[in-house]
Amino acid sequence: MEKFKEKGLVKFENLLAIPAKDRLPGLIEAYGKETIHGIIIVLLTAFANSFNLIRPMTPDQIVMCAFDLIDTSYEDYPSIEDFVLFFQGAKSAKYGKILDRMDQQTIFELFENYRQQRHQTYLRLKEEKESNYKSIGGGIRSSDEKGMKELLHEAQLEHFKNKAE
């Protein structure tokens, strides 16, 4: 996880370079939904149990929340590393405050804040890439009509190209 954090901050650039096959939808295809669901339950349980709350999540709520987190993973292709870093940051209130209760709504509100930070980094990287391409005489390489999966794939290719140089 060290390559995904620097000075306590998430390095979204590195997270976005994780190949699609290593993100939740790809992992579900490779290992099955039950296996990935079990991993998310473990992460979510550890997170929920790290707080001393008046109204904590019940085991049933944790199971249902994990299913819903997996269902929403097809929107923006988070990785297991995204969840680990999200839960670490949420413990220290980086994505919002947790007051006296923990439930699915709280988790999703915090995770949406994490996703927004991740998306802002993605947009910045995309803009930088397009700007660099324009500066060498090319036009805009990507279209707003491309899906998240295609754009993540392009970011991964660029990352590996830069690594090889």
pLDDT digits (tens, 9 = 90+) for 79-115: 999 999 999 999 999 999 999 999 999 999 999 999 9
Tokens 């870093």 found at: 85
**What SS3 state is found at 125?**
helix
Confidence band of 135 (pLDDT split at 50, 70, 90): confident
Helix ranges (H only) for the chain are: 12-16, 24-31, 33-48, 59-71, 73-76, 80-91, 104-135, 148-164
Instruction: Find the range with the poorest average confidence among 18-27, 124-133, 138-147.
Output: 138-147
The average pLDDT across 70-80 equals: 95
Long-range interactions of 109-112: CB distance < 8 A, separation 24+? 110/86, 111/69, 111/86
Provide the pLDDT for residue 125: 87
Share of the chain above pLDDT 70, in %: 85
Question: How much is the pTM?
Answer: 0.78
CA dihedral 135, 141, 144, 150 (to 10 degrees): -130
The average pLDDT across 119-135 equals: 86
DSSP code at position 117: H
The average pLDDT across 137-151 equals: 59
Quote the distance between the C-alpha of residue 102 and its chain's center. Answer: 20
Confidence band of 2 (pLDDT split at 50, 70, 90): confident
